[in-house]
Structure 1
Amino acid sequence: MAFPRSAGATAPPERYARGWHCLGLASEYKDGKPHGLDIFGQRLVAFAGDDGHIRILDGWCPHMGADLASGTVQGNSVVCPFHHWSWGGDGACNSIPYCKRVPAKARVNTWHSCEQNNLLFVWNDPEGAPPAPEVAIPRIRACFSDEWMPWAVRKMTIQTHCRELVDNLADAAHFGPVHGSPASYFCNTFVGHVGHQMFHGAQSELLGSTLIADSAYFGPAYHITHMSAEVDGNPLHSILLNCHVPINQHSFDLRYGVMIKKMPGLSDDQNREIADAYVEQAHKSFFQDVEIWHNKTRIERPVLCEGDGPIYQLREWYRQFYTDVADLPRNLHEKKVFQCKDGEWQTLSEVPAQAVSQLHAI
């Protein structure tokens, strides 16, 4: 069936998506140094204090404009390199070495952050509201299991709007031409802040044969995939991290990571070798998309054929993260299911058995 155009198929507004954004491995920020972040069109600073908790603040010192990321961490505060004003995790200046009284206005903006699955997240909301409990990052049990190798994460900067990446969630037709992995079965489910994709393929350039990829966006920018396949006759289970943070309206940092389930009988070094090779292949796979993103233009109202997936429905789902909470549609939490089986697209009222996600079990 051909999917109709949606009223939500408009250019993303000049704002940044409401939701949790992944900043990579939390351990990388726990080295006793401040870390500069150029994200959301701003300069931020992230640092871990003596208590191990990571704080994120606006990065420019409001005193004379120095970059706090060029300063030092002392106790649970970051100290400006220019005049040594000290800023606590609550955003308040707590010390000025040459002045006894700290001005009441000496504050910097603080950002909500959290650690989950050994990753660091920052919350962005153009309306300034804190994160609601229902959008909390789901815990992945495998991240805390000795049966799995830890994350191997890489980062690259992409020179385009991040929606180009999110479009892939519904773009079933590109897997064959771009990645050499045509879909034998494909299903999208949208409900609330979660957009889900179930992909079955007989062959994959990334993995071997009999590929199943169970993936979901939890919010606008954090994407997790559980992949299972056969490689040389052996089962291989992996978890893929695919997350992005906008630098500005025309570029974003893409972080992708891989965890593999340890193969019995192999040492950690051998399993790490397999994981590193997998990351390298994932890097090549991402660059197949990147090459196209860097050589294409934005099409706000694409001309679709019957074989295309629910591109407009995906964009309507994604639009919620750029919309004020008071203006969100009332049917946002109604389940919307689109399935491609035997080459035919269908709109369903319930998720079919072969598309039920197992992400909660990993």
Structure 2
Amino acid sequence: MRRDSALEDEIREIDTGVPMTRFARGWHCLGRAADFRTGTPTGVEAFGTRLAIFEDDEQRLQAIEARCPHRGGDLSRGSVKDGNLACPLHDWRWAGDGHCVDVPYSRQPPPAAARVRSWPTLEENKLLFVWNDPEGNPPSPQVAIPKIPDLDEWTDWSWDGTVVTGTHPREFVDNLVDCPHFFYLHFGVPSHFRVLLEGHTAAQYLRMTGRKDIGPGSEHDTTMSVYSVATYHGPAYLVNHQDFDLEGMKIYGIGLFTYYPVNAETMHLNWAMSIKRIDGLPDNVTQLIAKSMAESTSLALQQDVEIWRYKTRIDNPMLSEDDGPIYQLRRWFDQFYVDADAVTPTMTDRFEHEVEIETARQYWEQEVAAGLQAAAAAADSPS
């Protein structure tokens, strides 16, 4: 395609912008709930501080600031006594709402100002979520984490994660609307790609097959096709419903992709995979299939992480006509980084876009054919 000669001498300067220092308003998944039910507190670095997660006497998981305001002890290294969190340094007792409820050695009740920050918690889909809001408002029912029905019919979550430094979560969320990167980075050939943004949700509809020229070791098996619906519920929790066809075998999977910010420049990225148990297959075989698919998911995420390590932040990406709607997605994402009364209709109004993919698909299929031809020629040549 010819370029406009009047623009040939212009240089596009990258605007790196100002990184966000505020932490998003919304539910953030910390991991599998069972992993926090150990009988002892668990420390989690998140939201620029340290959280202490513990189970109270009603078996509810609680999340409070881990720094004791008495003498600075780490509450996550304490113990649970009578349903409250006891500081390991002086045994001050802290309830799940952040209030100090007892100083056992003192003749006086705890100081009225003895309180640490607490985060609302939620257990859903066998996962633990904490609600973060810089304004301190509670979550509304409209942003509830959706329940996955009949979860007992699925394999246990295979859970993995990594800490990513020097990267804001926006880089991760941008992938939702980036169709071409599935071919070049994840070795798939998309044939349908649509995006729907509305309210606090953002969804991607994708149909794709594996690249036959890549072979073993690619994320997508060359004999497998998939129809995927991946939906963000808020800024940090993505549920990916996947219908796989593996040489006639139907496999239904659910992928989870979540993160929580450690600080303004670091995030803890987690992912999980589960598949619906397959009629006629022993449970151990189903678990092996789930394990294999989880490993493929891990490969895909590590591919993304490797890119993020070296790419620059860019607030003014130059897009081609057939790229996805990155600017619209970023407006949607911005709603979680402003006060609730500053959210505008441009951030939440329904927006739908289908990427015109036919030209790209034809080019990709030609590239795959050329790769297969080159591989065949190399195999036939004498060593």
Read off the aligned partner of 1:132 and give its amino acid letter. Answer: S
C-alpha displacement at 1:334, in angstroms?
Answer: 2.5
1:26 to 33, 41, 48: 33
> Partners in 1 of 2:342 and 2:28 — Cα distance?
22
The structure with the largest helix share of the pair is: 2
2:48 corresponds to which residue? 41
C-alpha displacement at 1:92, in angstroms?
Answer: 1.6
Q: Does 1:174 align with 2:217?
A: no
| TM-score, scaled to structure 1 | 0.89
C-alpha displacement at 1:333, in angstroms?
Answer: 4.2
Greater RCO (Cα-Cα under 8 Å, separation 6 or more): 1
> Is 1:23–1:120's contact at 8 Å kept on the other side of the alignment?
yes
What's the CA shift string for 1:41-88, capped at 9, x where partnerless?
A: 111111112321001101100100010011011221111000111111
> Partners in 2 of 1:141 and 1:287 — Cα distance?
29
**95-104 or 248-257, which moves further after superposition?**
95-104
C-alpha displacement at 1:142, in angstroms?
Answer: 3.6
Could you list the structure 1 runs, at least 4 aligned residues long, displaced by more than 6 angstroms after superposition: none
> Is 1:197–1:216's contact at 8 Å kept on the other side of the alignment?
yes
What's the CA shift string for 1:81-107, capped at 9, x where partnerless?
A: 001111111222122121021221211
Read off the aligned partner of 1:245 and give its amino acid letter. Answer: Y
2:67 corresponds to which residue? 60
2:134 to 89, 109, 126: 126
Q: Secondary structure in 2 aligned to 1:44?
A: strand
Read off the aligned partner of 1:94 and give its amino acid letter. Answer: V
Alignment of 1:1-362 (within 5 A): 11-101=18-108, 102-143=110-151, 145=152, 147-159=153-165, 160-203=167-210, 205-207=219-221, 208-343=223-358
Q: How many residues are aligned here?
A: 335
C-alpha displacement at 1:266, in angstroms?
Answer: 1.9
Q: 1:285 to 1:342 in 2, by over 3 A?
A: closer
> Partners in 1 of 2:244 and 2:295 — Cα distance?
17
C-alpha displacement at 1:343, in angstroms?
Answer: 3.4
What's the CA shift string for 1:110-161, capped at 9, x where partnerless?
A: 1111111111000111111111110000111042x3x211211111111211
What's the CA shift string for 1:222-260, capped at 9, x where partnerless?
A: 000001111233111100000000111111001100010
Structure 1 gap segments, 5+ residues each: 1-8, 346-362
> Partners in 2 of 1:157 and 1:180 — Cα distance?
24
Read off the aligned partner of 1:265 and give its amino acid letter. Answer: G
| TM-score, scaled to structure 2 | 0.84
> Partners in 1 of 2:100 and 2:254 — Cα distance?
42
Larger Rg computed on CA atoms = 2
Read off the aligned partner of 1:327 and give its amino acid letter. Answer: A
**93-102 or 295-304, which moves further after superposition?**
93-102
Q: Secondary structure in 2 aligned to 1:184?
A: strand
> Partners in 1 of 2:155 and 2:240 — Cα distance?
16
Q: Secondary structure in 1 aligned to 2:188?
A: coil
> Partners in 1 of 2:359 and 2:344 — Cα distance?
29
> Is 1:191–1:336's contact at 8 Å kept on the other side of the alignment?
yes
> Partners in 1 of 2:61 and 2:139 — Cα distance?
17
Read off the aligned partner of 2:118 and give its amino acid letter. Answer: T
> Is 1:173–1:307's contact at 8 Å kept on the other side of the alignment?
no
Q: 1:344 to 1:320 in 2, by over 3 A?
A: farther
Structure 2 gap segments, 5+ residues each: 1-15, 212-218, 361-383
Read off the aligned partner of 1:211 and give its amino acid letter. Answer: V
> Partners in 1 of 2:27 and 2:42 — Cα distance?
19
> Partners in 2 of 1:12 and 1:189 — Cα distance?
26
> Partners in 1 of 2:25 and 2:184 — Cα distance?
33
**Percent of residue pairs bearing the same amino acid type:** 39
Q: Secondary structure in 2 aligned to 1:164?
A: helix
Q: Secondary structure in 1 aligned to 2:184?
A: helix
